[in-house]
Chains A and B, each alone.
Chain A
Amino acid sequence: MRESGGAAAVAAAPVRREEGEALLEKARRGDERAFAALLRLHQDRIFDLLVRMLGDRAEAEDVTQEVFLSFHKALPGFRGDAKISTWLFRIAKNHCLNRIKYLGRRGGDRHVALEAADDPARGEGPEPPDRALERRRRDEQVQAAIATLPEEQRLVVVLRDIEGLDYEEIAEVLEQPLGTVKSRLHRGRLALAKKLAGVAGENAS
């Protein structure tokens, strides 16, 4: 228990940029331990983005693995002109859009209910069961609303409002102009506001 708590604390702590760069340099030279450290630092954020984009934990886990295998393969050629997280989000975006296309062609219904997320940030003591259920239902409604957004809008909303990237960073990840990012974010949020009207009040009453 203590061990997993420690790992979570390490992952949650903001890593100084120089530390990240030192790890990256070692990993580029083939140091597997440095690669393992980078993996553990970034994997949950990439996974969370993919869960929110794909609405399915198993698919998201599979794509997260693809992302880090691509990252490992591309490491020797990385020029270091972007932050590692930006680079990883960009790889994740490409794999994610490919998977969405593939799932669309296969015609599967991927809007399965997500299992409860394991979020230590919410752990302010145990929650009464009815409150937990209420929260769970609300989260499902929000996820369902996100799933209805067109991919480009969904991606920008998730990167901004869930992963907390700023506009410039999102533009770098998407390789799109800043204006496009702002407009997609705004359209996406307006659509969510329509779909989620009354959700907070409805669950609170």
Chain B
Amino acid sequence: MNAHQEVIELFSPYVDAALPAAEEARLEAHLAACEPCRLEYGAFAEAVSLVRELPRHKLPAAFSRRVLARTRAERRRRLREVRAAMLPVPAEIALPVVLLAAVAAVVVLVLLGG
């Protein structure tokens, strides 16, 4: 790698102010003395600032409402699954069975008591 290529490798950390002081001084001394590298650095820094100046895109207001509707639906679905796992028999069958058992228990207690 020749001196110019070595200097070009330092452009990125230099624009990010991430070069150690000694290397920064070496780069600046080279740029001051070498016109082709100075021009190249100019183009490099210009491209970086063009990218940095790009406008930011924002989402429409309806976006978060749409996502939240999806996550709420997903949460309800998961809750239903959890309930179904805890109660393997559908409620419309389980409920009469439980009631019948309760009535039977009362009847037995009354009979035993009597």
Interface residues of chain A, those whose CB is within 8 Å of chain B, are 4, 30, 32, 35-36, 39-40, 43-44, 47-48, 51-52, 57, 60-61, 64-65, 68-69, 72-73, 114, 116-119, 121-122, 138-139, 142-143, 145-146, 157, 160-162, 167, 182, 185-186, 189-190, 192-197, 199-200
Report if B21 contacts A (CB, 8 A): no
Docked CA distance A130–B50 (Å)? 19
Please determine whether B57 and A118 come into contact, CB atoms closer than 8 angstroms: yes
Q: With A143-B54, A161-B51 in contact, do A32 and B61 touch (Cβ < 8 Å)?
A: no
Docked CA distance A10–B13 (Å)? 32
A residues within 8 A CB of B46? 193, 196, 200
A residues within 8 A CB of B61? 4
Residue among A30, A44, A162, A194 making CB contact with B54, cutoff 8 Å: A162
Main secondary structure of the interface of A (DSSP, over half): helix
Report if B26 contacts A (CB, 8 A): no
A residues within 8 A CB of B70? 65, 69
B residues 56-81 near A (Cβ < 8 Å) are 56-61, 63-64, 66-68, 70-72, 74-75
Cross-chain pairs A/B with CB under 8 angstroms, 16 sampled: A4-B61, A36-B64, A40-B64, A47-B63, A48-B58, A57-B57, A69-B71, A145-B47, A161-B51, A162-B51, A162-B54, A189-B11, A190-B8, A193-B47, A196-B47, A200-B46
